[in-house]
Structure formats: C-alpha cells, structure tokens
Amino acid sequence: MERLVICSALLNTLDMHTTEPAYNPLDDIDHILVDEITIKNRLKELGRELNEAYQGRDVAVIAIINGAIIFVADLIRELSIPLQLDCIRVSSYRDDTKPMQEPEVIDKIRLELKGRHVLIIDDILDSGNTLSRVSQMFQAMEPASLKTCVLLDKKTKRSVDFEADFVGFRIPDEFVVGYGLDFAERYRQLPCIGVLRPELQNPPEWS
C-alpha cells in the first residue's frame, strides 16, 4: 500500500515535468470585466430579487441554452420558490463576433406554459433579437406572466425595443466570454467574464 502511494506520488512529479503547460483559458483574455466573486455576490442579490418578485408563486424557468447554462445552474440554487426548469435552444447566429441573421428555435421546450408564471433566462441581452423573439413565442402560449432575466446587458447594441426585467450587470459594448458565454463554443468554462484578446476575435485561419 505504502509502495503504491509512493509510486503514484512519483508519477505525479514526473507528469509535472514531462507534460505541456496546462491549458488555461485565462491566457486568451485581454481584460476581465466581471470577476468570480463579483458574479457570486450579484447572483445572491438577484436571487433575493427573484424570491421577492415571485413569492407565493410556482415558476416555469426557461433557460436559453447553451449560453445560459452556467448562469441558470447557479441562479436557481439561490431561489427558494417552487420552480420547474426547461431549456430552449436557439440557433447560434454568429460564428464570429458579429450578428448574422434572425435567431431560430432549434430545440423546443417540453413544459406547458399556459397559465404559468414564466421566467426566461439568457446569458446576455445584446441586439435584443433573441429574447424578443423567444418572448413573443411564449406570449402566444398564454402564460399568466412572462418576465426575462439576463446576466449581462449590452445596452448600446439594441436593434429592437426590448428590455429585460432582471439584469445582473450592465456592460459596455465589448465582445465578452466566460461564465457560459462563448466564442465559437469555447471559453464557457471561465469562472469570470472577460474580453478576448483582439487577435483571437477573428483569427486569420477563419478568413
């Protein structure tokens, strides 16, 4: 047993010396906009706001995935109201940092929304196209109420008249990644929210 422990300790040491430096998505970040602790603290506040707003109600929480995955996972654990969770997948209409076309629903929800208090959750409100489209769609299902909650709001970029009911942080017009937000499906695992280094936003191999 003792020999086994020594062997694995030795292997670990060898590993440290022979492998490439560990991948760290933070290396690709130019600057951090919202750090991990600030996100955690704001989520606690947001949780309190939602618990108060929905006191005595049973809520249908609909996350727009993939972007809202991390946010919704942490946020619902701050909620002390009865809720059901479902997800909707909306086409990613950008492969780079620019919007391309109208968002399209690719994967529908399973929950029945008629007569329910519906809270839609997304990672970021940018042009407003995604949330206004999803909201319109859900409104047609005759919910008792329909509200939206976003982690980030890039207010200067709106192309449709749409505001979220609950907002985590208002941020400047910069392309951000982390805490669920991606660039080409990468960087979602970052615990903070940051701006990619400019040379990585449109890598030459993409042109």
By CB under 6 A, name the one of 39, 122, 146, 167 that touches ligand IMP: 122
Q: Which of residues 48-107 bind Mg ion (CB under 5 A)?
A: 67
CA dist 192 and 46 (Å) reads: 17
Nearer Cβ to ligand IMP, position 118 or 131?
131
123 binds ligand IMP (CB under 6 A): yes
For helices 69-76 and 36-53, the axis angle rounded to 10 degrees is 60
The three-state secondary structure class of 131 is helix
- Active site residues per annotation: 126
The interface with ligand IMP within residues 166-185 (CB under 6 A) comprises 175-177, 181
Tell me the residue nearest to Mg ion as measured from the CB.
67
Q: Tell me which residue of 35, 72, 24, 46 sits closest to 186, measured CA to CA.
A: 24
- 125, HSE (Cβ side, Cα atoms, 13 Å): 29
Give Cβ neighbours of residue 43 (< 8 Å, ≥ 6 apart): 74, 75, 78, 168
Please, which residue, 76 or 196, has the CB nearer to ligand IMP? 196
What is the contact mask toward ligand IMP in residues 37 to 76, using x (rule: CB under 6 A)?
------------------------------x---------
Which of 127, 145, 201, 202 is the binder for ligand IMP (CB under 6 A)? 127
Residues forming the site for Mg ion (CB under 5 A): 67
